[in-house]
Chain A
Amino acid sequence: MNEYKPVANSINPNRKRRKIIGASVYCIFLISTLVGIVGLGVLIFDVLDKGIPWLNWQFLTDYPSRKPEEAGLYSALIGTIWLMFMTALLTVPIGVGAAIYLEEYAPRNLLTKAIEINVSNLAGVPSIVYGLLGMALFVYYLGSSEQFLGRTLLAGALTLALLVLPIVIMASREAIRAVPDSYRQGAYAMGADKWQVIKGVVLPSALPGILTGTILAMSRAIGEAAPVIAISALVYMTFIPAHPMERFTVLPIQIYNWVARPQEEFRGLAAAGIIVLLAILLTMNAIAVVLRNKYQTRSEE
């Protein structure tokens, strides 16, 4: 299709000049690559530098306070854990079910195509738009000023579940697609029906991949602040939620709350909160990587 201009035309006999250009272009590419890495390094160094002095046990077990030296993120930490597990509980069955449908059942027709395009488009919808959806649909009920679920954990988890659903679906599809067809045919040959094949063969072999995708989706979910702010607003939490119908706050919102204050001390608290958040995220990512590696070596046997 494309007509490539013959490279030979652009080759001039001046090898030396071309080599110098080549070397300098290489340097530019290398420097560009380093921009992202250096940026990450500076960010992490800055956060550690400002946050570590504030990081202690009390910081993890205290409620937010107007006095920076007494403030902690206990309620946000517990809220994040609540929200993560509830979101996973809501989104994983639906996401895996949708992936099973698309990979194992769906006929190649217009509807299937529409669902596929729809999933990839949903992944590109800004997260704050999900916040608006959750606010109008779950917190209130479309326009009516009565509360439906209110600004509760459940409303937050439902919103985040919709937000990460495309990620779970796409990761699960990939995991299911990677199960070799010979496995399925082997099971069919033994007389298994379709559901038995899926339950007994496809899902167990796809499980590590699904788990990896789920963990990554949850790490996306607990880093999100925008949609959760639309659901929970900035609430001053001096208790921890005991059940899904209570109000809540999460780490990113607590961090935002502290960043938004002008005093230097609260910036330090924000940095300490960021360290806690990043530590949780890195742990989750590490688990996902370990799972992925274990899974890959096993399938090579």
Chain B
Amino acid sequence: MKWLFMACASVSILTTIGILVTLLYQGYGFFNEVSPWEFLTGTRWTPILKPRSYGVLPLVSGTLLVTVIAAMVALPVGLMTAIFLSEYAADNVRRIIKPILEILAGIPTVVYGYFALTFVTPLLQNIFNDLLVFNALSAGIVMGVMIIPMVSSLSEDAMISVPRNLREAAYALGATRYEVSLRVVVPAALSGIIAAFIIAISRAIGETMLVTIAAGATPRMALNPLEGVQTMTAYIVQLSLGEAPVGSLEYNTIFAVGLVLFCMTLLMNLLGFWIVRRFREAY
């Protein structure tokens, strides 16, 4: 029996190997025809239209633009939610709020895409007159709301594990609740909070349907959030819809882009886990 169970456990290892082999093998086909240098430093991404050009930077910058907007929403809001839940809220309030945030985390991303496109964008168009139908701003804002639960629950876990006596010592010195929260608990939980930020950002980078629906399909280097951008994930979806012939250069582009995406999220996740492990306060 032991070997059977071990085989089950090794499926997870095989999955990782499978992902790596797939991305590298198909990526190899791509890099045979396009130099990695051109791919990583090129600023024009037109793999389907002539003149073809395979610079991935517009997709990366589009991804980062949406991610930065999402982070600007989710990190402060998520952190303050976590402080409220861990330091202020009574038990019964927390029992109501936490399941609601869990529901928020469980809503499929295609729903958020619908919401961004049909509700948030028209709303924002009242404020910004030149906001296009597909834009990075509303995709980013809605993505921010989407990852709030992730930031808040991971940060709250970190804050709850701060020992009670640190708080009580501060109270004994006459500190008020917000002084205890902001000057004792948050610094003590900082490593967990930063890890939560990094893991949430990595989730935002890999998010697909929301940006496919709401952010558009124009790979651009520009940083104007009022216009559309194309993210790495949205490009992969766009091309998988088009049924590119297998083995063709266009087909292989999605694996090259997928490789960049995989490396970015993997590095951030590893960094997040490493920070948790390395800087965890042992009390």
Contact = CB atoms under 8 A, between A and B. Distances in A.
Interface of A: 1-2, 4-8, 10-11, 18-19, 21-22, 25-26, 28-30, 32-33, 35-37, 39-40, 42-43, 46-47, 50, 93-98, 100-102, 104-106, 114-115, 117-122, 124-133, 135-137, 140, 142-145, 162, 165-166, 169, 194-195, 198, 219-220, 223-226, 229-230, 233-234, 252, 255-256, 259-260, 267, 270-271, 274, 277-278, 281-282, 285, 289
Nearest to A38: B145
A32 B77 contact: yes
Interface stretch (B16-24, B49-57, B218-226): B16-24
Given A1-B281, A2-B188, A4-B187, A11 B208 contact: no
A277 B202 CA distance: 26
Nearest to B257: A132
Contacts of B182: 25
28 contacts: A5-B183, A7-B173, A7-B175, A22-B177, A25-B181, A29-B88, A37-B97, A37-B104, A40-B100, A101-B8, A115-B12, A125-B206, A126-B265, A129-B19, A129-B261, A132-B19, A136-B26, A136-B255, A137-B22, A143-B26, A143-B246, A144-B247, A219-B106, A223-B108, A233-B243, A256-B213, A259-B213, A281-B108
A162 B8 CA distance: 12
A21 B8 CA distance: 56
B236 A230 contact: yes
B13 interface: yes
A186 B187 CA distance: 46
B253 to A, nearest CB: 11
Nearest to B89: A33
Contacts of B88: 26, 29-30
A4 B179 CA distance: 13
B8 A131 contact: no
Interface of B: 1-2, 4-13, 15-16, 18-19, 21-23, 25-26, 29, 76-77, 80-81, 83-85, 88-89, 97, 99-101, 103-104, 106-115, 117-119, 145, 148-149, 152, 166, 170, 173-184, 187-188, 199, 202-203, 205-209, 212-213, 233, 236-237, 240-241, 243, 245-247, 254-255, 258, 261-262, 265-266, 269-270, 273, 281-282
Secondary structure class of chain A's binding surface, majority of residues: helix
Contacts of B107: 40, 43, 223, 278, 281
Contact of A105 (B6, B113, B145): B6
Given A35-B77, A102-B9, A118-B16, A128 B237 contact: yes
Contacts of B183: 4-5, 7, 10
B12 A169 contact: yes
A47 B243 CA distance: 31
Given A133-B18, A225-B208, 10 more contacts: A18-B176, A104-B5, A105-B2, A121-B266, A126-B207, A126-B208, A131-B236, A229-B237, A259-B110, A281-B106
A52 to B, nearest CB: 15
A135 B209 CA distance: 17
Contact of B241 (A195, A220, A233, A289): A233
A133 B22 contact: yes
A118 B9 CA distance: 10
Contacts of B266: 121, 124-125
Nearest to B190: A2
A271 B107 CA distance: 14
B277 to A, nearest CB: 10
A281 B102 CA distance: 12
Contacts of A124: 199, 202-203, 265-266, 269
B9 A29 contact: no
Given A36-B152, A97-B8, A132-B236, A225 B245 contact: no
